[in-house]
Structure 1
Amino acid sequence: MTTEKLSPDEINGLLGQGAEGKPMSTNTLMQVEKEALTELLAVSLGGSSTVLSTLFNEQAKVSTPTISIKRKDDLLSATAAPFFVVLGEYTGSAKGIQILSVNKNDVHMMAKAMDAETEAVDMEKQFQMLQEMITAMFASVTQSMEAVLEQEISYSLSGMDVVEKQKDFPVSKFTQEEWFVEAGFQVKIGTTDQADFHLCIPVPLAKQLVGILTNDAEEAYEEEPQQMQYEPNNQTQSTSKLRRTNEEPTIQSVQFSSFDETASVQSEPNNLNMLLDIPLQVTVELGRTKRMVKEILSVSHGSIIELDKLAGEPVDILINNKLIAVGEVVVIDENFGVRVTDILSTADRISKLR
């Protein structure tokens, strides 16, 4: 039996720690980290639906993302070529790059949706539309992140390009990281159109965001973003050319006042006025009920579904699916309407819209 003792480095290695006793960096996320990151992205991306609805002039909705861990060589493999690729950078409390991809056909569809009066959408218009969309979308995303994480985070768009073949986009040109988190999500526009997006960030950046969220942030991860300049593989005969934005947008967060029962709503009118032109969905809910699948399948013309509200009971008035007031149904000329009979306090109403 040997009496040789293990060195401190060997002990730390067995414990999964570095030379200074700190946890070693891993190339994946634990399940709890995946769940936390999914929740953060779902809230942040979902919050951009209102901005996108304004851009497309019809209702837009962002789905809950599905995340996976991939090597950089397999990055963007889920996006069918040819596709647009958008390189961005996070600064502030969270630092690192972001790679976003979307199929070329989806970009063409969104460009048509944004400018329905234009019959032909050329490549230049597609670049302009995508730049405007991503800039506005991630200004909203980072604003939501700041609210959740209570940290300053900014996003800037660094460049865009069209990739004709998967191997034409060398990820190693822009980052030395080997492992990435890829989040797939959909943007649904109206009732029929849908675009598939894939968002990729390095695992260390993902861990930093989760660390801030769980009040257990690791050391700041900072990577100098490389200039988005590369030459496509000559054998592919790709004609794609680099499209850089003319100028990087300045993104600032809106500081909201704290509202309570006694606070004055007009204490900071300038901040509130910035939100007055944002469209909100108003819903009057007559009632709800739950039914078994077999009961739903048996529904036919003339079927009657009983709701959970009594006749004459006030109906709920919701703003963006949040209860704001109750009222009674009335008839205005030939249209239905609702007369408000009871509302939440002004402070509570504004608080629910935040």
Structure 2
Amino acid sequence: MTGTLDPAVLVLEDGSRFRGNAYGARGRTLGEVVFATGMTGYQETLTDPSYAGQIVVMTAPHIGNTGVNDEDPESSQIWVSGYVVRDPSRIVSNYRAKGSLDDDLTAQGVVGISGIDTRAVTRRIRDAGAMRGGVFSGADATLDPEVQLSLVLEGEQMAGRNLSAEVSTADGYVIPAEGELLGALAVLDLGVKTSTLNYLAARGFEVHVLPQSVTLDEVLAINPVAAFFSNGPGDPGASDQHVELLQGILRHDVPFFGICFGNQLLGRALGFGTYKLPFGHRGINQPVLDRETGRIEVTSHNHGFAVEAEIGDILESTTGFGRVEVSHVNLNDNVVEGLRALDIPAFSVQYHPEAAAGPHDSNYLFDRFRDMVLAHRKDTK
């Protein structure tokens, strides 16, 4: 690994400073500083579009030992705004590796920092909440500290920010179904991951991936047997057009499944609010209770916002979609992790059942979606 002795500094908006070494591209980058707790799957994290606009701190101390390959990316590029690690691997040790993580970060212009106490950074964020920050490396590391802090404070807040247009596909495309064809599935790409699309196609859906700007008429034109809203970055409170689109889809009696951002949008479509979590859930070790089965699942997360809904009682949609219940709950902090509509065919979860890099406790939700679509088809015949 080259150039690790170049200086770098991570600056948080509260004035906290962490000095280390440049990692990846040199220069400066700004974003919301968050931490991810996964001990594996760094390539999937980097290429998850949900991390757009964020500087990701890895809590696992040793990163990069398996290099990068062509099989694990969740999209066509790295999306994180910046990357913070403690001990970057000096060598690559994996038979699938096509190169080093350091070289991949450099090639894609991702500014990072290594050699700092990521535990201290994580504790700071956990106590004070996610905040704006900047990584300054190379020549930018020598800027006056007050200048660096002023640049950080000029950065955008994540609250109120709509990033869907930055991560969505520009043009629609189709992934053929595997096995027996169930029908066309309208997937709204708000930052969708490759593994999600593969799991849906494996359930017999002809997957039509649509840009986030698609209209209701364009969705209905493919005669979908169901609709799916993906994960993605940004504040769900800033996505009114997607909420209106989803309400139109639901009023046309199209079965719906949403993941992560899609869960928040279903919540809003049903009349609930959303709010920003102090530091969010990011990693692959979050315990979630499925309230229907009583089963506890270890799940993968990446979200900084959540649905505001009462847990326990049957709720009434204030937008006319009938009864709703909170289906899943986070056992760490009681955050709503899933919704199920009882009078229309629609449900969603806040976490990631595709969970590339694991765990796979929740993969059954794709089967539950397929079963719901089949049952709805039978009921409407």
TM-score interval, normalised by the smaller of the two chains:
under 0.3
TM-score by length of 1: 0.22
Q: Name which structure has the greater RCO, CA cutoff 8 Å, separation 6+.
A: 1
Q: Larger % of strand: which?
A: 2
* Higher gyration radius (CA): 1
